[in-house]
Chain A
Amino acid sequence: MDTATINKTSTLYKMLNQFELGNNISECLTCGACNSRCTWFNGEGGPLPRQIIRMAALGLDEQLVNSNMLWDCLLCNRCTQGCPMGISMDKVVRKARSLAIADDTIPKDIKIGIKNRIELGDVNALTTEEFVETVEWVSEEFVDEVDDPKAEIPHDIKGTKLLYLPNPRELGINLLHLTAMAKLFYATKETWTLSAHHTDVTNWGYFVGKDDIAKKMVLMVVEPAEALGVETLVLSECGHGYHALKYLMEDIIGRKPKFEVVSMPELIVRYAKKGVLKFDPGVHPYKIAYHDPCNIARKSGGYDAPRELLSMVCEGVVELIPNREDGVCCGGGGGILQDSTSKNKRMITGKPKADQMTATGLPNLATACLSCHRQLSELSNHYKLGIKVDTVASLASESLIL
């Protein structure tokens, strides 16, 4: 049996007890509710959430860092949803990950991604030149696609109404998604732009719990956007990006940004309600299941826009059970998806999700996060579910009536 001495002067204990009432882990009632709600369910391995809180509350920093729980946790916050004392697992685990003694536990890919982002502005190390080249090439394709010579994918234009912050995947392996989004922007008839200094919606500083890095990454988004003088920052479909840039923005940078932040589905719904965007649901003549990305739904309260949008572009939305604040993580949250060695584990963490997907009996499922999208697609392949997974905004783009 491991032995440990309680240490109420530990770094983690001191950090966590700076939080206000309700985030103070010392208040844990040890009621055990969290243990029954881990997104791993009864899958093999994985954390016992209460042990994380207790280790932190007793200053057992080393034991926590050396346990698998630190990185097995998907930061989905499902366990502490409904915690009687309002403790947030996400905060506790990220603080523990931020400890200096935890540096060696950070997955290699995440370390590299962070380095790339800080040094080059993009997790995938996309340079400004490469960005411009890519966007201009996609823009040419886009002209053909919408059959309008004046159409373009603009970048670095000052004073536009909208600024789109893409997911790195949209400038890499999923360029079609960028075209699809461009089509929607084009249809809003608003001025819009991309920014060469502003290519990445992700924030891996959030995954590793390092506030300074997270803040730097947020400012890398905020400052260029403010320099361009845009009215609205439109986030590509990204869970933790949404959580960091919309829900936590003010906490992280300590001020309100000089622009409004919306997600792509939120923007589309807004223009659809104004009657500017019109959709043909007949393009998708089926009902579709919707997966709530934890960071958007439970952790930021963004439940409605994706559902509203899906009901405009398909025959209707079918809920997974459970859903919304009780939604089950795709199994790829908390940085695990960004670790290329995690595939086997992700198929365990995603098993409950795969079961949920199967239970719908539907061949189509949508989500509003590109990370969830990738994990769900992999689950569908791995478990041979035969379910096609799409993002909400891309379905909207397909249904768009120009």
Chain B
Amino acid sequence: MKKTTPNILILGGGVAGMAAAQTFSDQDVAVHLVERESALGGHAAMWACMATDTCQNCGACLSIEMADQVQKQENVISHLDTIVETINKAKQGYKVILENKETFNVEKIIMATGFSLFNPVQINSLHYDEYKNVITTAELNTILQKETLSGYFNGKPDPKIAFIQCVGSRNREQGKDFCSQVCCKISMRHANKLTHLFPESDITLFYMDLQIIGKEVRPLFKTLSKNIALVQGVPAEILEDTETNMLTIVAEDKETQSRVSKAFDLIVLSVGMQPSPTLETTAGILGLKPNSWGFFNTDQAVLAEDVIIAGCANGPKDILSSKQDGRIAAAKVIEDLGLNTNNKLNIAVFGQGTQADQAAEIISSKGYSTYLFGPGTSLSKDTPVTFLNESNIISISGTAGNFSLYYESGNEKKYLTCAAIIAAFEPEQSLNRLENISNEFLSLDAFSQMIEKKPDTCPDNSVILLDYFGPEFKSFARLALKTSVKAKALGKNISIIMNKTLVHGALGQRLYDTARQQGVDFFRFETREDLKFEDSGNGFLIKLRETTLPSIELSLNCDCLVLPPSLTPAEGFKDAAALLRLPLDREGFLQSANTRHRLTRSSRKGIFFAGTCHDEIDKNDLDNEINDILSALSTESFELPDVDTGVEINQGMCAQCLTCIRVCPHSAIVMNKKNRPQIVANACFSCHLCVSNCPAYAIESKELTNDQIAQKVEKDKMVILACERSAALAAGSLTLPDHITLIPIPCACRISSDVILKALLNGASKVIISGCHEENCRSMEGSNIADASVRQVLSIPGMDASKVAWEPIAANETKKFERIISKARG
């Protein structure tokens, strides 16, 4: 059921292009997708899996699944292995001629041409082209995918490995005065993976300002700071010791205050992002002009009316943000072309602060009936939002498109039916204090307000202290930079004491450069012990052991000491999570770090998160989050369509024990009016967990009953029950040997001990269950459930332990899949 003939062109089949294509396809809008390479997936599809014991939330494996799904979409006409030859402005839209002379007309173009990686050959002193063991992050990915890393260590169990950050980033002399944003995370995940693969390895990560940003990165940093050496200062030269063949780096030794030579077996250059090599040509054809970096992420770039830029063509982005960007771009096109036929829905927004207000305001401006469970303090009275302040939500039932909110308002209890819920609660903001100091501090917020509103009261000497109460949140770091520049413009002295500058974001580095040019002083400290504070008159005396000058104690006087607040999970987050039936993350913020649902979604359709209640965001990120939610609201179906979920409840056998309702990770099973459990097709993700968990065997899978699975088992053959989103995709391109039967299953949680035993009884020589890594399961617990089922079977007395195994394999771990089946054969 196509709504249109394809008159949209997507340039680039990477994450952003594929996300856009999927969004169109979900709306039955047909599109052309042109990709230069012979397969979809872009850079992300070449990235290695970063999982250790659990998923590390990088999202790379998603690109393989996306490619698989996009290829199957009838609405997406893929033109692989080809490029656009010319695009001419037609009367309406554009006439597109491909390299293979295929010609078609389109109205809108999404340019998702991606990025390329900085080539370190340009920096002679790194000797990247000469020394075999100097590699880039991209090469490390390939090596990890191929599982050939040990070949670089000459059999050493304890290799010395260095990561060097900011190679080709944050360098004004190279015209790259921007932070590539992803490299710190990539290297941190790489280092973590290497500590896992080589527990005796000795890893040093040399960074300029470690960008510890995001809910998944903060816990990773905590782990890493115990396991590897994190060293501030990026070496700019690598030499080879001709005697030992070790790679050497000269670095500052803090203890002896001298330069020492350090030897490494492998050095990984964390290379930055730059525009795709074909961008200039493509931009030329389309009449666009990128900015001096070659991206479109500043006002300097010139855009064209019917062309929308998405993904890394817009500037450096991680996988999840690229995916988000692609969806937003597609939603915009759908809106521009008037293809959005969704009914205007009721939307509930939860939250007491400005982030919820902003979400409510934007959602309502698009015509949705918006109900704000919060005071809406920052909204004007005539905003078309229904304010349900001082209303206490008692319970939420129902599913996407038909949530029923039961709430108390005054003494009355009421119901509200809504299609979707946006949780935009505020985290706890607590003012920080320093011990043994009696003079008044100023909060960062108050200081920034003072500079804005009462500049004449700004003190002459101010100090902003960042990172002292834990890694600073990006928004506060950014506010500190902006405020310091303004204070400087007023002719005041201002210093920022920090552990690292968060320059993340399109203009972060330029803002930091401006601040230094204007004379804002920056001081770096390593640990809290490097700083001492005293009252001094009405002001403060700060004694500082600066990272760059550790043998001198610097004294710094100021009239005003500015402290940012700490952000912690609010007390109500636990209750909110219980109400939404969704888990918290490791730090206690809302939303799990599972990349299947991030950035804004959840395992429950129609429940979204926005703002700092779930992740570290600045204003720009919040805009993107709200646009992403809007894209879901406008392009996804919230009605109750007649889709086949593949599972049904045999009401005759149902014992009404409610197990299914309790276990469903998507809360897609509800009690119907007849007090019977009912699967809501629209909210069901078809994971089959209810099937494997129903004690009465009343929930049946149409094509994957226990018997049907067991029937596929052949005698004396090894059976791999493989999740179709991960292990089955990893196996995809392999020709499996005859003694192996691969049975795709919708999720590892489909497997119960029954299925395993049936397979063994039918003569399977071995049963392997394989699915996503823990924390990467779309249905949240699939890997844990499969693992538990395997252990349950193994606990049967007399069971041969070699007969059953659980193996987590991500979609991008083909080599691991191969290794596991070859090991199992032996």
Do A37 and B236 touch (CB < 8 A)?
A: yes
Bound complex: CA A50 to CA B548 (Å): 7
Q: Does A2 contact B (CB under 8 A)?
A: yes
A residues in contact with B237, CB < 8 Å: 36-37, 322, 326
User: Which one of A81-89, A100-108, A203-211, A333-341 is at the B interface?
Assistant: A81-89
Task: Decide yes or no: A30 and B547 within 8 Å by CB, A35-B252, A36-B236, A42-B250 being known contacts.
Answer: yes
B residues in contact with A17, CB < 8 Å: 519
B residues in contact with A259, CB < 8 Å: none
A residues in contact with B513, CB < 8 Å: 27, 85
Bound complex: CA A21 to CA B520 (Å): 15
State the Cβ distance, A385 to closest chain B Cβ, in Å.
16
Do A36 and B123 touch (CB < 8 A)?
A: no
Bound complex: CA A1 to CA B551 (Å): 6
B residues in contact with A322, CB < 8 Å: 124-125, 127, 237, 239
B residues in contact with A60, CB < 8 Å: 549, 552
User: Which one of B253-261, B391-399, B614-622, B765-773 is at the A interface?
Assistant: B253-261
Task: Decide yes or no: A84 and B174 within 8 Å by CB, A3-B555, A41-B261, A46-B259 being known contacts.
Answer: yes
Bound complex: CA A291 to CA B252 (Å): 27
State the Cβ distance, B783 to closest chain A Cβ, in Å.
41
Q: Does A362 contact B (CB under 8 A)?
A: no
User: Which one of B83-91, B227-235, B310-318, B374-382 is at the A interface?
Assistant: B227-235
Q: Does B172 contact A (CB under 8 A)?
A: yes
Interface residues of B in 606-651 (CB under 8 A from A): none
Q: Mark A1-29, 1 if CB is under 8 A from B, else 0.
A: 11111101000000001000110101111
Task: Decide yes or no: A33 and B548 within 8 Å by CB, A21-B517, A24-B517, A85-B172 being known contacts.
Answer: no
Do B242 and A359 touch (CB < 8 A)?
A: yes
Q: Mark B518-558, 1 if CB is under 8 A from A, else 0.
A: 01011010000000000000000001011111011111110
Contact of B124 among A34, A84, A325 (CB under 8 A): A325
B residues in contact with A138, CB < 8 Å: none
Interface of A is mostly: loop
A residues in contact with B252, CB < 8 Å: 32, 35, 48, 50
Q: Does B327 contact A (CB under 8 A)?
A: no
Do B259 and A48 touch (CB < 8 A)?
A: yes
Bound complex: CA A272 to CA B235 (Å): 42
Residue of A nearest to B557 (CB): A5
State the Cβ distance, A32 to closest chain B Cβ, in Å.
2
Do A38 and B234 touch (CB < 8 A)?
A: no
Q: Does A377 contact B (CB under 8 A)?
A: no
Bound complex: CA A321 to CA B252 (Å): 22
Q: Mark B483-519, 1 if CB is under 8 A from A, else 0.
A: 0000000000100000000000000000001001101
Bound complex: CA A5 to CA B493 (Å): 15
Do A32 and B208 touch (CB < 8 A)?
A: yes
Residue of B nearest to A60 (CB): B552
State the Cβ distance, B525 to closest chain A Cβ, in Å.
12
Interface residues of B in 540-591 (CB under 8 A from A): 543, 545-549, 551-557
Q: Does A54 contact B (CB under 8 A)?
A: yes
Interface contact tally, CB-CB below 8 A: 151
Bound complex: CA A30 to CA B525 (Å): 12
Interface centre among A38, A40, A42 (most CB of B within 10 A): A42
Q: Does A173 contact B (CB under 8 A)?
A: no
Bound complex: CA A4 to CA B553 (Å): 6
Bound complex: CA A321 to CA B521 (Å): 38
State the Cβ distance, A397 to closest chain B Cβ, in Å.
33
Q: Does A127 contact B (CB under 8 A)?
A: no
B residues in contact with A83, CB < 8 Å: 173
A residues in contact with B236, CB < 8 Å: 33-34, 36-37, 82
Task: Decide yes or no: A38 and B250 within 8 Å by CB, A3-B553, A58-B554, A82-B236 being known contacts.
Answer: yes
Interface residues of A in 42-59 (CB under 8 A from B): 42-46, 48, 50-51, 54-55, 58
Contact of B551 among A2, A32, A35, A43 (CB under 8 A): A2
Bound complex: CA A207 to CA B552 (Å): 27
Do B554 and A4 touch (CB < 8 A)?
A: yes
- How big is chain B's contact interface, by range? 35 or more
Q: Please, how many residues of chain A have a CB less than 8 angstroms from a CB on the other chain?
A: 51
State the Cβ distance, A217 to closest chain B Cβ, in Å.
31
A residues in contact with B552, CB < 8 Å: 1-4, 60, 63
Bound complex: CA A373 to CA B249 (Å): 28
Do A44 and B166 touch (CB < 8 A)?
A: no
Bound complex: CA A133 to CA B517 (Å): 57
Contact of B548 among A2, A36, A40, A51 (CB under 8 A): A51
A residues in contact with B557, CB < 8 Å: 5
Q: Does B185 contact A (CB under 8 A)?
A: no
Do A6 and B239 touch (CB < 8 A)?
A: no
Do A27 and B516 touch (CB < 8 A)?
A: yes
Do B553 and A54 touch (CB < 8 A)?
A: no
Q: Does B171 contact A (CB under 8 A)?
A: yes
A residues in contact with B173, CB < 8 Å: 22, 82-86
Q: Mark B402-422, 1 if CB is under 8 A from A, else 0.
A: 000000000000000000000
Interface residues of A in 352-399 (CB under 8 A from B): 359
Q: Does B220 contact A (CB under 8 A)?
A: no
Do A40 and B208 touch (CB < 8 A)?
A: no
Do A31 and B524 touch (CB < 8 A)?
A: no
A residues in contact with B597, CB < 8 Å: none
B residues in contact with A26, CB < 8 Å: 516-517, 519, 521
Do A33 and B551 touch (CB < 8 A)?
A: no
Q: Mark A311-328, 1 if CB is under 8 A from B, else 0.
A: 000000000011011100
Residue of A nearest to B242 (CB): A359
Contact of A55 among B123, B166, B549 (CB under 8 A): B549
Q: Does B170 contact A (CB under 8 A)?
A: yes
Residue of A nearest to B544 (CB): A6
Bound complex: CA A43 to CA B258 (Å): 9
Interface residues of A in 128-160 (CB under 8 A from B): none
Residue of A nearest to B519 (CB): A26
Residue of B nearest to A42 (CB): B261
A residues in contact with B545, CB < 8 Å: 1
Do B250 and A31 touch (CB < 8 A)?
A: no
State the Cβ distance, A263 to closest chain B Cβ, in Å.
24
State the Cβ distance, A170 to closest chain B Cβ, in Å.
35
Contact of A31 among B127, B208, B242, B251 (CB under 8 A): B208
Q: Mark A228-247, 1 if CB is under 8 A from B, else 0.
A: 00000000000000000000
Q: Which 4 pairs of residues, A with B, have the shortest CB-CB distance?
A: A32-B233, A36-B235, A33-B236, A42-B261
**Can you report 27 residue pairs joining A to B where beta carbons are below 8 Å apart?**
A1-B553, A4-B553, A5-B554, A5-B557, A8-B521, A30-B208, A30-B524, A30-B547, A31-B166, A32-B206, A32-B251, A33-B235, A34-B236, A36-B237, A36-B259, A38-B250, A38-B259, A41-B250, A50-B233, A60-B549, A60-B552, A82-B125, A84-B170, A84-B171, A85-B513, A322-B125, A359-B242
Known: A2-B553, A3-B555. 12 other contacts (CB 8 A): A1-B553, A3-B553, A5-B557, A6-B555, A29-B208, A35-B235, A35-B252, A36-B234, A41-B261, A42-B258, A82-B125, A85-B172
